[in-house]
Amino acid sequence: MTNSEILFIYDAQLCNPNGDPDEENRPRMDYPTQTNLVSDVRLKRYLRDYLEEKGHDIYVRKSNAGDVVNASKRIQEVLGQDKATKLEKKDLNDLLEKLIDVRLFGATMPIKLEGSKGQSIAFTGPVQFNWGYSLNKAYLLDTQTITSHFSSEAGREQGTMGKDFRIKYSLIAFHGVISAYNAKETNLTAEDVALLDEAMIKAIPLHATRSKVGQEPRLYLRVEYNSDDVILGDLRKWIKPSPKNGKKDDEVFSVDDITLDVSQLLDKLQKNQDKIEKVVLWHDRSLQLSDDLNKVPKASPFTL
């Protein structure tokens, strides 16, 4: 296993990519720059849900209504144990073998097992993302009030009311790293990384909710290096959006209004081709690029 870096771009139109609970669930924003933000936790939730639906067991699962599962109980479920006093090395290997999200993203497990003082086990995930941000200036739509049909409490005749916050258009870019060093700790495999490639492209559209309909993947690039000591840095530094059709910077409201300049990225990868093992590439043609990324050295197109 060697290092990889990821560039992932998707867009959001008339939806809420990532609500902020501290802001009445408004889309996360940096208002001075009109930048829409999306947390890495939100992205990983999509990926976990996709992997679970494909039959892979995961550690961080969504709980059913009223179902409280603590870390100790979840570990015992995975290991098939009713009682345990301490996790041995074999148990940890079994956990890694069974839980693909721990192999990918790591986990912290504060475990209190019967008859023990407790353990705190931490796996540092080899796959890490920083926060995604919009490449264009993003704007919130005027707030809409929504009303549920059912009352929240017995005896009330009216349903509950709330606010529906949505973004007008946001072209969101994520940067990620796969660390070969941390991959050794979690036993990450090449097959796991191939599943990650698939999930990155497929997960978001397949897990649409009312507030998430309107999100589409546009570009996925994973640069796999031939060494475990190579990292070029945040790949978003070498891409730049350019409005087209006479639009201004603050008038980008759909994927048809933008061209993504990838010339610097292409140049960066060409100049470092001696460090690259292969490049996994997927591109939705709806997003116009300034240059053909298939010119990237050792490009390997990913097909759905």
Q: Average of pLDDT values for 267-283?
A: 97
Read off the pLDDT band of 65 (50, 70, 90): very low
Of the given ranges (14-23, 56-65, 178-187), which has the lowest mean pLDDT? 56-65
Pairing, β 144-147 against β 240-243? unpaired
Of the given ranges (47-56, 113-122, 252-261, 289-298), which has the lowest mean pLDDT? 113-122
> Would the pLDDT of 83 be above 60?
no
Q: Average of pLDDT values for 214-230?
A: 96
Q: Average of pLDDT values for 181-206?
A: 96
What beta strand segments (E) does the chain contain? Answer: 4-15, 19-20, 26-27, 29-30, 35-38, 106-111, 119-124, 127-129, 132-134, 144-147, 161-164, 167-178, 215-225, 240-243, 258-261, 276-283, 288-289, 299-301
Give 138-193 pLDDT, tens digit per residue: 999 976 665 555 555 555 556 555 688 999 999 999 999 999 999 999 999 999 99
Can you give the pLDDT at residue 67? 54
Can you give the pLDDT at residue 150? 53
Could you tell me which of 121, 115, 125 has the C-alpha nearest to residue 40?
A: 125
Sequence ranges of the domains in the chain: 4-57+127-301, 71-123
Q: Both tokens of residue 296? A: 């990237």
Can you give the pLDDT at residue 162? 65
Read off the pLDDT band of 208 (50, 70, 90): confident
> What is the C-alpha to C-alpha distance for residues 303 and 19, in angstroms, rounded to an integer?
31
Percent of the chain at pLDDT exceeding 70: 86
Phi and psi at 294, nearest 5°, equal -65, -10
